[in-house]
Amino acid sequence: MKSLSEIETTVKRATKAAGYSWGVSEETAKSVRLLELFSLPGVKHLNEYFNEKNQNKFENLNLISEKNSSLKHPYCPIILGVSFLDQINILENLKKIEFKNIAYPVIFLSFISRSSEIIGKKIYVKIDEKIILLNLNINMILSFIDQEFPKIANTIEVHLLENKDNFTKDEWNNLYKLSEDTFVEESDSLKEGAAGAGLTDND
Q: Measured between alpha carbons, how far is 23 from 16 in angstroms, rounded to an integer? A: 9
Q: Report DSSP state, residue 75.
A: B
Question: How many folded domains does the chain comprise?
Answer: 1
State the residue range of the domain holding 122.
Answer: 4-160
13 is a domain residue: yes
| 58-116: pLDDT as tens digits | 999 999 999 999 989 999 999 999 999 999 999 999 989 999 999 999 999 999 999 99
Q: Measured between alpha carbons, how far is 195 from 28 in angstroms, rounded to an integer? A: 54
pTM of structure: 0.84
188 is a domain residue: no
| 117-157: pLDDT as tens digits | 999 999 999 999 899 999 999 988 888 766 788 999 999 99
194 is a domain residue: no
189 is a domain residue: no
